[in-house]
Structures are given as structure tokens and as C-alpha cells.
Amino acid sequence: MNEKLLRKLLAGGEGYTVEFKKCQNELSNSVYETVCAFSNRYGGHILLGVDDNGKILGVNPKAVPGIKKNFTNMLNNPQKIAPALYLELESFEVRGKTILYVYVPVGSLVEICSGKLYDRNQDADIDITTNTILAAELYDRKRGIFTERKLFPHLTKDRLKIKELMPKVKMRVEIRNAKHPWLSMSDMDIMRSANLCDIDPQTGKECFNLAAVLLFGKGETIFSCCPGYLTDCILRKVNLDRYDDRLMVTTNLIDSFDEILGFIQKHTQDPFYLEGASAVSIRDKIAREIVSNSLTHREYSSTKPARIIIEKERIYADNWNRSNLFGQLDPESFSPDPKNPIIARFFVNIAYADTLGSGMRNLTKYTPLYANGKMPQMIEGDVFQTIVPLPAENATEDKREKQAAKASGKSKRQKQAAKASGKSDKTSERVNIVLSSLRQKKVITTNEVAGLLGLSPARSRAILSLLVREGLLCAEGEDKTRRYRLL
């Protein structure tokens, strides 16, 4: 502790990780309740000799030795605190008055105070002893149990869409790695490789887990195994009391990704941007991270739906979260903490996400380019929040394209790529997927594009024809056997 941090804590007031106690002559029982709550939640700072409003009252100097001794003794008394904690009060002089300070770290075990469980909520210590749901969540958090690993012994393959979705999965895998081992595996071997099934220790039989249900489940299967699963997408720019457009997504995560991404693309601007010599959609890069974070880092045991709200000046996303930190995340000191590592790894394999921890880096990199220098916010807590500012409505795409062209001197081919990918918000991501696939495969057919994009052959053919007209692809062969190559 130093004086600068001490003054910052006093100025910031009480909250999830800061607590003030008067305790001028002796310790109150509430001090130990706060120690217990901090240890069970995010950890925190306790200042003695300060009232609730942050006014320094000071601790009686004559009482300091007795308070310190009593504090140490009680933390080692199993009837007061269990398991024992090894903490020590420090003395500081501020404005001529004595303050006692202690930092309580997050504990690896559940802490009990006087036979009761305490958790932290805002600036209060909450007794959750008789609240079975909150108590169970606390124990699960300390044990590091991942909800996605919950097993369903009686769930059969016919209640999942493995056969229907696996072609799309393999196509996405091939975009990222043409030599990926999944490409030569059977459907069930892929499920096993992705840790989507496990051995039930009670029966010794192989069964699917919740991650498999969320990724491949049919609608009714997902609802029966995870009743609270829902992503509520809302456009709220004109009608602020209700909404201008809404999409309630309850399908599997593989299809949900495309549906939610499409909703964001439909209702946000897509300015032209060059990264090196290539035209990229920074809007799509940002949207991809928002969707990926919402689907992979959600606590699926909660009945609270996830939300993605597009407003005039920002995109706001929130979802229930099993957090180990509190407050706004700092990209410089952030350490990745996957909430659903099985789902997260699956998304990486199918190119829905990059490596673990890249989401924050990408948002931090691309948001200022997209929103005129404004930065995103990612706030950790029981509810995880992502706030991404949007560019001003009057900053038209044509004006941005002219500015980008003047600054970069883009080539004819780059203009063609921008024109092709900017035809509409709906097609830009699909064009990027097709071009990415062709860089790996060299050639592609209409049926392959249909499977890759989840579209009909007719709509897939229209996208390929657009790229041919723009001079990005060439077509070979007759209609039924036509193949497309990059020029």
C-alpha cells in the first residue's frame, strides 16, 4: 500500500472491492463478514477509521496495538473464520489521523464466518447461507466447475443436428487449416476430439455434455437442457421506448453466430478500410468479436438472456458471467480466463474466433479506427458488459471511401474488392468467407459455397457471379460442373 493508492481508494468510495469501517476503538463483527465476503468474491481493500462516506475519522492510536492483535487472533480462530486467513493490518497517517488498512485476496476455498456464508454485492456483505442457488454458485466458482461439462447420459444422437451441421463445420475448419485432422475424421470422432462427449463416471458409458447440446442441439433439445438459453438482439435508434427491430435467437451456437452477426451487419455502417494492401471490413471484425464473446464466455446455467442492443451511438452487449475479476478490463494487464473452454476451442477451430484472448486485442485495435478514435469498454462482473461506440450517422460511407483512397492510393484491384464487398451489409461477410476459402482451396463450386454459407445454390451462384463481374474470380466449365478460381 502507498499513499497514492490510499487516497484513490478514499476518493472512489465503497463498492465491490472497497469497504470503509469506523472502528475507532475496537473491531466490529462486520469486519470479519467483509473479510469473508471479499475472500469469496473478488478480494478487496478494507480501511478502518473511515466512515461510509469516505470521511477520515481516524483510529484511536492507543487502540491500534489491541486491534491488530485481535484481528490476527480472530482470523486464526476456526469458530470465527474458517479456513484460517493470514492477513495483517497496516497503519498509515493521513491528515494527522491513523488509518488501518488490509487487502484481502481472493481465496481458493469457500470462506465461512461464524458458521455463515457471505458474498459481496455492490457495497454490501450478503448472507447467502440459506440461499441454496447462490451458495451452490459460490461452491461451483471455487471448485472451477464449468457448466458446459454437465453430462446428459440419456441424450441420443437423434436429438442433435450432428449430420446436418458437420458439413458446415468441416468447411469452416478447412478455411483455417486445409490439413486439419478433423477433415479426415468421422462425425463422432470429431465430437470426441472436441471434448463434446465424455464418460459418465456413474455408468461408465459415453454421453454428450452441455457444450455438445449448445453447439449441435435441435431447438427442443437445447430448451430442455438449458431452458434459459436466449440471445436477444435489439435495434433501438428511433423507438427508444421499445425497439425498431428485434431478433430472438434460440438456435444452436453454430447457426446463432451467423444469425447474430447478420443482425449487426444489417444495422451498422461498413466503412471502407485498407489493412496493408488488402481491403478489410473493420465493422465485421468488431461484430465478430462481440458475437464470439457473447456466445463463448456466457454462464449458461443462468436464466438471464444475453442481449446485444444496437443504439444510435453504440453497441451494448451483456450476458450473465461467472467472474473472477471486477471492473473495466485493461488490455495491458488482461489475462485470458475462458468461461467455456470447450466451446471457445471449438469456435477457434471453425474460425469463429481467433486464439484465446485475441478478442479484447482486436476490439481495442479496430474500434478506434471504426468510431473516430473512441475506445471500447469491457466490464467484468456478475454481468459481463461490452460497449462499442459507433461512427456518427452523418459520416457517410462514400466520404470515408474517398478519404481512404486519397490516403492510401488504393489500386484498381483494391477498388474492385471494396466495391464487391460493399454491395450490401448482408453480402460483405459472405464475400470475405468465399475469398478466404479460395485462398486455401484454389477452386470452389456453387454447391460448396452453398454449404459454406448456409444458402441456397441460387443465392450462392449470385454471389459468385458478382465476384466474376467485379473481376475477382473467373468461371470454368459448363453450368453443372462450373468451378471458380481467383484471378
Q: What is the CATH number of the domain that holds 467?
A: 1.10.10.10
Residues 11 and 120 in one domain: yes
Residue the block writes with cell 476430439? 193
Residues 243 and 218 in one domain: no
**What H or E segment, with its residue span, contains residue 126?**
strand 124-127
Burial 364-384 (b: 16+ CB within 10 A, else e): bbbbeebbeebebbbbbebbb
- On whether the CB atoms of residues 167 and 451 are closer than 8 A, the answer is yes
Of the candidates 414, 409, 484, which has an alpha carbon nearest to the alpha carbon of residue 442?
484
- On whether the CB atoms of residues 149 and 210 are closer than 8 A, the answer is yes
Kindly give the pairing relationship between strand 314-320 and strand 443-445. unpaired
Kindly give the pairing relationship between strand 231-236 and strand 306-311. parallel
Residue the block writes with cell 435508434? 237
Residues 272 and 384 in one domain: yes
Q: Which of 109, 143, 177 is the last residue of a domain?
A: 143
Residues 181 and 311 in one domain: no
Residues 156 and 25 in one domain: no
Query: Quick one: cell of 121?
Result: 454485492
Per-residue pLDDT tens, the chain, 487 aa: give them. Answer: 677 778 888 888 998 889 999 999 999 999 999 999 999 988 889 999 999 989 999 999 999 999 999 998 899 888 999 988 888 899 988 888 999 999 998 887 899 999 999 999 888 999 999 999 889 888 877 766 688 989 999 999 999 999 999 999 999 998 888 889 999 999 999 999 999 998 888 788 999 999 999 999 999 999 999 988 999 999 999 988 889 999 999 999 999 999 999 999 999 998 878 777 677 889 999 999 999 999 998 989 888 889 999 999 999 999 988 776 677 877 665 556 678 889 998 998 998 987 665 778 889 889 999 998 899 999 888 888 999 999 987 544 444 444 444 444 444 444 454 444 444 555 677 787 887 777 777 788 888 888 778 788 888 888 888 888 777 788 887 766 788 888 7
- On whether the CB atoms of residues 321 and 340 are closer than 8 A, the answer is no
Q: What is the pLDDT of residue 400?
A: 44
Q: What is the pLDDT of residue 144?
A: 66
Q: What is the pLDDT of residue 336?
A: 60
Residues 46 and 105 in one domain: yes
Residues 238 and 287 in one domain: yes
Which structural domain, as residue segments, surrounds residue 165? 148-225
- On whether the CB atoms of residues 211 and 148 are closer than 8 A, the answer is yes
Instruction: Give the ranges where 177-305 is alpha helix by DSSP (H).
Output: 187-193, 210-216, 219-225, 253-266, 282-296
Q: Which of 188, 204, 225 is the last residue of a domain?
A: 225
Domain total in the chain: 4
Residue 341, domain CATH: 3.30.565.60
Phi and psi for 269 in degrees, rounded to 5?
Answer: -75, 155
In DSSP terms, 311 is beta-bridged to: 236
Residues 86 and 172 in one domain: no
Q: What is the DSSP string of 133-178?
A: HHHHHHHHHHHT--GGG-EETT--GGGB-HHHHHHHHHHHHHHH-T
**CA–CA distance, 473 with 463 (Å, rounded to integer):** 11
Residues 201 and 315 in one domain: no
**CA–CA distance, 270 with 280 (Å, rounded to integer):** 10
pTM for this entry: 0.63
Q: What is the pLDDT of residue 320?
A: 87
Residue the block writes with cell 455434455? 209
Residues 400 and 463 in one domain: no
Of the candidates 146, 138, 140, 141, which has an alpha carbon nearest to the alpha carbon of residue 343?
146
Q: What is the pLDDT of residue 45?
A: 92
Q: Which of 343, 375, 407 is the last residue of a domain?
A: 407
Residues 29 and 130 in one domain: yes
In DSSP terms, 94 is beta-bridged to: 97
